[in-house]
Amino acid sequence: DGQLVESGGGLVQPGGSLRLSCAASGFTFRTYDMHWVRQTTGKGLEWVSAIDTAGDTYFPVSVKGRFTISRDNAKTSVSLQMNDLSAEDTALYYCARASFRRGPFDLWGHGTLVTVSS
Amino acid sequence: EIVLTQSPATLSLSPGERATLSCRASQSVDNYVAWYRQKPGQAPWLLIYDGSVRATGVPARFSGSGSGTDFTLTITSLEPEDFAVYYCQHRFTWPLTFGGGTKVEI
């Protein structure tokens, strides 16, 4: 049914940048909208970005202007560029596939941990 | 943004019992609510979407109902693997949001 594998997480200082990647396999990647969802202990699950099959992107207010999402259909991958990071961005970041417009998320990766700390 | 409120925060039950979980939206989301189960150390797993449609591979003991602002996830007979955290999520409009979760514990 498919697999998603995230990478790129790590420790970054406040104000720094990080780029996450998600490698997809086992399904027709170009036909699915792709999302990033993060999870913190205190705030639960939070949707952070989406890119549809046309390349249009969507973000919540909390990350708009700081995060960008992109996809490479030839490499079946999606990336999340995160800039101006703060402690509030510390979370486990999941890549997720959407079944339809805006969800639901029927395939998830295992997540990659981002820690923002000095 | 649409706020999803889940209740109760914690549900203490025994294997074989029935679980009823609630998700209330701050405004109508039509039927565009999904439910996920998350076990410790794992990613969420899609159970129900569009209010009442079971996802592929989901056992029949899981059912969803509701529309508008009030939604329910019912587990008719709890199995050991069902003791986990459950989240609802809407896809009615941007931004997408999740509820705060209900922990089903033994």
- Distances in whole angstroms, Cα of residue A80 to Cα of each of A34, B26, B44, B48: 11, 30, 20, 27
Q: For residue B18, how many other CB atoms are within 10 A of its CB?
A: 11
Q: What percent of chain B lies above the pLDDT cut of 70?
A: 100
**pLDDT value at residue A35:** 98
B106 touches chain A (CB under 8 A): no
**Cα gap A96→A4, rounded to integer Å:** 8
Q: Is B18 helix (H, G, I), strand (E, B) or coil?
A: coil
Question: What residues of chain B lie within 8 A of the CB of A103, using their CB?
Answer: 34, 49, 89, 91, 96
Q: Which of A47, A61, A99 sits opposite B96 (nearest CB)?
A: A47
**pLDDT value at residue A105:** 97
Q: What is the pLDDT of residues A86-104, one digit of tens each?
A: 999 999 999 999 988 888 9
CB B76 within 8 A of CB B17: no
CB A51 within 8 A of CB A78: yes
CB A108 within 8 A of CB B43: yes
**pLDDT value at residue B36:** 98
**pLDDT value at residue A101:** 82
Rounded to a whole number of angstroms, the distance from the CA of B33 to the nearest CA of chain A is 8
**pLDDT value at residue B84:** 96
CB A116 within 8 A of CB A16: yes
Q: What is the pLDDT of residues A34-58, one digit of tens each?
A: 999 999 976 689 999 999 999 999 9
Which site among A40, A45, A99 would you substitute to test the B interface, given the most B Cβ atoms closer than 10 Å to its Cβ?
A45
- Distances in whole angstroms, Cα of residue A22 to Cα of each of A72, A74, B61, B82, B102: 10, 13, 33, 29, 29
**pLDDT value at residue B90:** 98
Instruction: For chain B, list residues with pLDDT below 70.
Output: none
3-state SS, one letter per residue, for A42-96: CCEEEEEEEECCCCCEECCCCCCCCEEEEEECCCCEEEEEECCCCHHHCEEEEEE
Give residues with Cβ within 8 angstroms of A24, minimum separation 6.
A2, A3, A4, A34, A76, A77, A78, A95, A97
B94 touches chain A (CB under 8 A): yes
- Contact: B43, A101; criterion CB under 8 Å: no
A13-19 average pLDDT score: 98
**pLDDT value at residue A99:** 86
Structure tokens given for B27: 């405004």
A13-28 average pLDDT score: 98
| Cα–Cα–Cα angle for A63, A68, A73, rounded to 5 degrees | 140
**pLDDT value at residue A102:** 86
**pLDDT value at residue A1:** 86
Residue A115 has pLDDT above 90, yes or no: yes
Q: What is the pLDDT of residues A59-83, one digit of tens each?
A: 999 999 999 999 999 999 999 999 9
**Closest residue of chain B to A1, computed from CA coordinates:** B56
